[in-house]
């Protein structure tokens, strides 16, 4: 089973820029999407219900903002939208596909200022116990998405100059470590233990994408059962150059 997560930076724009071609190349069985920024009825035909896919949407209440989705080649069942409470920004979508559960997650960004950083911090405080609560299940569970945190200096090209920036703040990095301690494995890092990156997001400034000077903020996390089944992982930087500022991230499960 192949699972891919991708922050598409607006699905309507991504469709115009080659989203369908990239997905055909990667060929995931399950696709977790973040930053959809559209309701299904706003998408061009036939993308509200794409052929060959079972689809679940979790759009934000605010139009053109945030939102998550899960696409699956096999029937899916919604377990939960949100984390046991209202989720007006459409940030957490938890579904079951046969014997595997997947969660598409889009964590808030705090880069626009203190107010949004406060929103992000509050969200992280809610996410940690919620994630701890589902990690211990014997079934395979995966959390995939844009968590807007680079965990270690190996996950960000300019570590020193970004120490005080949202996404690489000490308490955010400690939070990510606590998520791992709660029973989750960083499946990409597990397959790339001794490399810088592989980065999944790049600024649009200064040839960052071309020179591969980015951040690794898009993750696929697995509980112990999923970790044992993970046989391969990759970040598709080249395929997505013109579609989004984020690259798709993929794992293969035995």
Determine how β-strand 92-97 pairs with β-strand 77-81.
antiparallel
Catalytic status, residue 181:
no
Distance CA 47, CA 8 (A): 14
**Among residues 87, 146, 155, 186, which one is catalytic?**
146
> Could you give the dihedral angle defined by the CA atoms of residues 97, 75, 21 and 108, in that order, rounded to the nearest 10 degrees?
-50
Structure letter (DSSP) for residue 152: S
Catalytic status, residue 219:
no
DSSP for 78-134 reads EEEESSSS--TT--EEEEEETTEEEEEEEPPP-TT-HHHHHHHHHHHHHHHHHHHHH
**CA distances from residue 99 to 3, 96, 110, 135 in whole angstroms, order as listed:** 14, 7, 35, 15
Structure letter (DSSP) for residue 206: T
**Among residues 29, 65, 87, 106, which one is catalytic?**
106
Encoded tokens for 11 = 């699905």
Q: Which residues are designated catalytic?
A: 106, 146
């Amino acid at each position: 089973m192949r699972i891919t997560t991708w922050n598409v930076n607006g699905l309507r724009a991504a469709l115009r820029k080659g989203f369908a071609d990239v997905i055909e190349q990667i060929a995931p069985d399950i696709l977790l999407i973040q930053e959809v920024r559209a309701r299904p009825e706003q998408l061009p035909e036939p993308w509200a219900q794409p052929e060959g896919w079972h689809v679940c949407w979790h759009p934000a209440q605010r139009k053109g903002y945030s939102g998550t989705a899960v696409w699956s080649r096999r029937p899916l069942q919604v377990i939960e939208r949100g984390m046991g409470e209202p989720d007006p920004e459409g940030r957490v979508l938890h579904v079951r596909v046969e014997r595997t559960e997947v969660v598409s997650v889009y964590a808030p960004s705090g880069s626009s200022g203190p107010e949004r950083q406060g929103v992000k911090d509050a969200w992280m405080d809610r996410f940690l116990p919620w994630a701890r609560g589902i990690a211990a299940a014997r079934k395979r569970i995966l959390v995939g998405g844009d968590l807007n945190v680079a965990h270690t200096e190996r996950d960000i090209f300019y570590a020193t100059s970004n120490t005080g920036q949202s996404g690489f703040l000490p308490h955010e990095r400690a939070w990510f470590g606590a998520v791992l301690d709660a029973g989750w494995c960083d499946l990409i890092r597990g397959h790339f233990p001794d490399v810088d990156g592989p980065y999944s997001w790049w600024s649009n400034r200064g040839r960052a994408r071309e020179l591969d000077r980015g951040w690794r903020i898009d993750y696929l996390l697995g509980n112990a059962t999923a970790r044992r089944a993970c046989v391969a992982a990759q970040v598709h930087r080249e395929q997505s150059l013109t579609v989004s500022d984020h690259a798709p991230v993929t794992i293969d499960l035995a």
